[in-house]
């Protein structure tokens, strides 16, 4: 249900990006007190409509008039046109209302579906492995044909038809009354939500501008690793290694566990760099600049003695190690200030925080906080930490929050797997042809497997791969996968199975659902969870042995440790947004100090007891915090959801029928979806009890 095409785009596995402006929201009070005739007109119309359609329509009449009046501006028409509009468009009996609902449902599907087709076609050159991308191709790729759809629908009054006849709801109502609504009532609620907000174009533009500016800052924040010099003047990293903060830095820490000689020194060095970024004591001149050597402990900066990049001949006569002037926090503040401008247009969700939790996630913030605290205060953590310590053979250090050593080596080498996959899938077409077989291995019946396969088109991807679903039943889902000239490799195959999982979900949740207004899943965490279930069985699809018990046990511990880490990161993100709302006039320096204090506080509360060290700031290093508008809580919630879905699949045995049953629930609240899928609401229990079992089976509970 949306006027904006959304597609699952797994940039790196499982981190789908948010689509901005996609949020829908309940009642917005545009100040109609400036329309002096509105109150009287509504009273008159109310009497007229109830006289015409009967007392049974009173609640609907009152609600419809209130909703339309809230959004009506002087430019929409004078008193006479308002009255005329209401009298002509109120559906006063069930049969007319049903006709209206069905017509809107069908036509919204057509609009979304065709917009999605245009978007997919316009992105083709950028997304597919189809020769060079010319500058104008990027312009096509960036074009959003539905950018003005909501405005258009207010201007031609179709939005007002919806608001006059269908209910806007609060999260509270959807949570408490939603379980008793019929499917059509749910679809009507989603229809109304499309027009629950009428934000002035200049406000939307400001949000987009802040998003673009912070995104650009983040996307160029590289560290040139060869130029990091340690306390002994040693270089730890190879030439030309350029790492983007924070993703590549974090992943380097993870990879360094395999480097028994220099890994630890590298990890300590990266921690030092991360701390400098967070506290903004990093010399501004070393950011994205390979011309200087930098000692992140002493902060000494020198002209690079050994250049390792084609850096031109820029002269640096005078340079200093002056710290970056809190630009990181200036960027974050801009996203906050822009978000605040939306607030007056959303009285029932009057902050970005409320819009994120009540509208996008549809899980109240307090409940999310409780779930995360359940993870970070778990009594299992000290036991798991002791196990990690034993495996490392040294006390934990703060960067071990990214410990990556629970992955057990499989029975096959990457090269062996590459050879098996390349032989089986020399081309994208070979993979396409095999989809029905693959689906049957997951337990889908031959007919169902063929049906789903017929709705998936495989294209060769320019990047690593992604899935792009359809938004109308007459169109198909697209699976983009990377195939080298030597054939598909194992990594590409693993991603292709993940993306195929998205396509299977997209097909069921659009083509097989009762009401297309309920198309999709509650949020991206659900489609990621379903995709990961299929991805986790990739070896069996190749006819190889499934991961053994030990591997599964270690995977559970790995999931739990990752959830622990990202829960703290999310709690920092949440507290920082609250601080900004409490201090709307703060300077970048004040926000920097507050963020550092919040990060230390969360660490001291939930990590110090596990790591034996206080006042660590690392949890504030995530780049999403700067440019993603309070997106980080989606990750830990996603881990919990994935675990619940996986456990249900394990218990059910055959994946196919269970996958289909879950995916057909559609876009209801996360708790309703999860109760339908597993019998329980979204929560941390499944992960915690599996971790408990895993620790016991490893004998770690003895001490």
> Interface residues with Zn ion (CB under 5 A)?
10, 14, 528, 531
Of 188 and 519, which has the nearer Cβ to Zn ion? 519
Nearest distance from C-beta of residue 13 to Zn ion, angstroms:
6
Whole-number minimum distance, CB 564 to Zn ion, in Å?
Answer: 22
Contact 226, 239 (CB under 8 A): yes
CA pair distance 37, 72, nearest whole angstrom: 12
Could you tell me the smallest distance in angstroms from the CB atom of residue 499 to Zn ion?
7
Of the candidates 375, 290, 365, which has an alpha carbon nearest to the alpha carbon of residue 683? Answer: 375
Question: In the complex, what is the shortest distance from the CB of residue 535 to Zn ion, in angstroms, rounded to a whole number?
Answer: 8
Burial 7-45, CB ≥16 within 10 A → b, else e: bbbbeeebbbebbebebbbbbbebebeebeebeebbeeb
Q: Cβ distance 283 to 324 under 8 Å?
A: yes
Query: DSSP assignment, residue 261?
Result: T
Nearer to Zn ion among residue 14 and residue 599 (C-beta): 14
Instruction: Write down the least CB distance from residue 10 to Zn ion, Å.
Output: 3
Task: Output the smallest distance, CB 562 to Zn ion, in A.
Answer: 16
User: Whole-number minimum distance, CB 58 to Zn ion, in Å?
Assistant: 47
Give 535 or 563: the residue with its C-beta nearer to Zn ion.
535
Beta strands 222-224; 242-244: pairing state? antiparallel
Contact call for residues 303 and 316 (beta carbons, < 8 A) = yes
Q: How many residues does the chain have?
A: 703
Distance CA 479, CA 530 (A): 15
First to last CA, the chain: 52
Q: Which is nearer to Zn ion, 127 or 528 (CB)?
A: 528
Do 388 and 396 meet the contact criterion of CB atoms below 8 Å apart? yes
Residue with tokens 């002035």: 200
How many Cβ atoms sit within 10 Å of the Cβ of residue 313?
A: 4
Residue 112 CB, shortest distance to Zn ion, in Å, is: 21
Report the SS3 class of residue 4: coil
C-beta closer to Zn ion: residue 531 or 591: 531
Shortest separation between residue 492's beta carbon and Zn ion, angstroms: 15
* Closest separation in Å from C-beta 480 to Zn ion: 12
Q: Quick check: helix, strand or coil at residue 497? A: helix
Q: Hey, CA dihedral for 65, 66, 67, 69, is it positive or negative?
A: positive
CB of 455 to Zn ion, least distance (A): 18
Are 569 and 250 a contacting pair, CB within 8 Å? no
CB of 16 to Zn ion, least distance (A): 6
Measured CA to CA, the distance from residue 648 to residue 137 in angstroms comes to: 44
State the Cα torsion 315-321-325-326 to the nearest 10°.
Answer: 120
> Is the alpha carbon torsion for 512, 518, 519, 523 positive or negative?
negative
Sign of the dihedral defined by the CA atoms of residues 20, 22, 25, 30, in that order: positive
For Zn ion, the closer of residues 10 and 401 by Cβ is 10
φ, ψ for residue 417, nearest 5 deg: -65, -40
> Closest CB to Zn ion among 398 and 638?
638
Q: Distance between alpha carbon 209 and the CA centroid of its chain, in Å?
A: 20
Report the C-alpha gap between 241 and 253 in whole angstroms.
14
519 vs 528, beta carbon nearer Zn ion:
528
Closer by beta carbon to Zn ion, 169 or else 507: 507
| Nearest to Zn ion of 64, 469 (CB atom) | 469
Retrieve residue 301's tokens.
Answer: 């900066």
Place of tokens 């209801």: 668
State the minimum distance, in angstroms, from the CB of residue 479 to Zn ion. 12
Angstrom CA distances, 43 to 37, 48, 89, 160, 389, stand at 10, 9, 17, 18, 72
Give min distance, CB of 466 to Zn ion, in A.
8
Q: Which is nearer to Zn ion, 14 or 642 (CB)?
A: 14
Q: How far apart are CA 270 and CA 401, in angstroms?
A: 13
Nearer to Zn ion by Cβ, of 530 and 621: the residue is 530
Give me the sign of the Cα torsion angle 656, 657, 658, 659.
positive
CB nearer to Zn ion: give 531 or 682: 531
Give yes or no for a cis peptide into 246 (omega within 30° of 0).
yes
Q: What is the DSSP string of 44-89?
A: HHHHHHHHHH-GGGHHHHHHHHHHHHHH--GGG--HHHHHHHHHHH
CA distances from 468 to 119, 455, 479 (A): 10, 12, 7
Nearest to 178 by CA among 434, 699, 187: 187
Interstrand relation of 477-481 and 222-224 (parallel, antiparallel or unpaired) = unpaired
- Residue with smallest beta-carbon separation from Zn ion: 10
Q: How far is the CB of 14 from Zn ion (least distance, A)?
A: 5
Q: Is 528 or 559 the residue whose CB approaches Zn ion more closely?
A: 528
Complex with Zn ion: residue 371 or 500, whichever CB lies closer: 500
Return the number of the residue (175 or 531) whose C-beta is nearest Zn ion.
Answer: 531
**C-beta closer to Zn ion: residue 45 or 479:** 479
Q: Where are the alpha helices (DSSP H) in 583-629?
A: 588-606, 608-611, 624-627
The angle that helices 94-127 and 158-165 make with each other, rounded to 10 degrees, is: 130
């Amino acid at each position: 249900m949306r006027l904006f095409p959304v597609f699952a785009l797994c940039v790196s596995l499982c981190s789908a990006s948010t689509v901005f402006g996609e949020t829908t929201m309940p009642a917005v009070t545009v100040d109609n007190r400036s329309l002096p005739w509105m109150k009287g007109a509504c009273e008159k119309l109310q009497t007229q409509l109830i006289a015409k359609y009967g007392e049974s329509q009173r609640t609907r009449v009152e609600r419809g008039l209130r909703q339309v009046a809230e959004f009506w501006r002087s430019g929409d028409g004078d008193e006479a046109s308002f009255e005329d509009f209401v009298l002509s468009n109120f559906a006063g009996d069930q049969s007319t209302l049903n006709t209206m609902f069905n017509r809107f449902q069908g036509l919204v599907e057509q609009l979304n579906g065709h917009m999605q087709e245009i978007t997919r076609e316009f992105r083709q050159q950028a997304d597919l492995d189809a020769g060079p991308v010319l500058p104008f191709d990027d312009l096509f790729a960036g074009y959003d044909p539905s950018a003005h759809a909501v405005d258009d629908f207010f201007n031609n009054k179709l939005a007002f038809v919806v608001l006059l006849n269908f209910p806007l709801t609060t999260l509270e109502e959807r949570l408490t009354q939603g379980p008793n609504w019929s499917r059509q009532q749910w679809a009507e609620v989603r229809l109304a939500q499309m027009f629950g907000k009428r934000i002035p174009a200049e406000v939307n533009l400001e949000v987009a501008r802040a998003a673009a500016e912070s995104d650009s800052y983040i996307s160029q924040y590289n560290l040139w690793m060869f130029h990091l010099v340690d306390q002994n003047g040693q270089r730890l990293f190879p030439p030309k290694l350029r790492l983007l903060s924070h993703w590549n830095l974090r992943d380097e820490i993870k990879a360094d566990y395999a480097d028994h000689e220099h890994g630890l020194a590298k990890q300590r060095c990266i921690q030092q760099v991360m701390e400098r970024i967070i506290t903004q004591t990093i010399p501004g001149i070393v950011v994205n600049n390979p011309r200087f050597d930098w000692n992140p402990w002493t902060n000494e900066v020198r002209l690079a003695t050994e250049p390792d990049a084609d850096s031109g001949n820029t002269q640096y006569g005078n340079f200093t190690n002056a710290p970056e002037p809190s630009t990181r926090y200036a960027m974050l503040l801009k996203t906050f200030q822009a978000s605040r401008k939306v607030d007056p247009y959303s009285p029932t969700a009057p902050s970005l925080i409320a819009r994120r939790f009540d509208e996008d996630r549809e899980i109240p913030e307090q409940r999310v906080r409780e779930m995360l605290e359940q993870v970070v205060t778990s009594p299992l953590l000290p036991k798991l930490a002791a196990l990690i310590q034993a495996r490392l053979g040294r006390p934990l250090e703060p960067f071990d929050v990214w410990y990556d050593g629970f992955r057990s080596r499989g029975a096959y080498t990457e090269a062996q797997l590459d050879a098996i996959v390349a032989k089986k899938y020399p081309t994208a077409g070979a993979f396409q042809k095999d989809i029905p077989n693959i689906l049957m291995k997951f337990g889908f019946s031959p007919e169902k497997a063929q049906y789903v396969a017929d709705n998936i088109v495989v294209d060769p991807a320019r990047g690593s791969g992604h899935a792009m679903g359809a938004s109308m039943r007459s169109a198909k889902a697209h699976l983009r996968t990377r195939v080298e000239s030597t054939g598909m490799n194992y990594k590409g195959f693993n991603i292709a199975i993940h993306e195929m999982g998205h396509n299977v979900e997209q097909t069921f949740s659009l083509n097989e659902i009762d009401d297309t207004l309920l198309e999709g899943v509650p949020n991206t965490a659900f489609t990621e969870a379903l995709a990961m279930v299929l991805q986790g069985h990739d070896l069996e699809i190749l006819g190889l042995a499934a991961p053994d018990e030990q591997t599964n046990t270690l995977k559970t511990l790995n999931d739990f440790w990752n959830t622990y880490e990202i829960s703290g990161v999310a709690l920092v993100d949440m507290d920082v947004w609250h601080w900004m709302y409490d201090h709307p006039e703060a300077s970048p320096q004040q926000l920097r100090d507050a963020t550092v204090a919040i990060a230390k506080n969360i660490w001291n509360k939930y990590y110090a007891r596990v790591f034996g060290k206080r006042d660590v700031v690392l949890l504030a290093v995530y780049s999403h915090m700067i440019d993603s508008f309070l997106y980080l809580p989606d990750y830990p919630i996603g881990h919990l959801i994935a675990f619940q879905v996986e456990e249900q699949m394990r218990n059910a045995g055959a994946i196919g029928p269970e996958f289909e049953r879950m995916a057909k629930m559609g876009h209801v609240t996360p708790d309703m979806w999860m109760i339908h899928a597993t019998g329980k609401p979204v929560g941390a229990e499944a992960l915690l009890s599996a971790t408990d079992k895993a620790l016991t089976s490893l004998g770690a509970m003895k001490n």
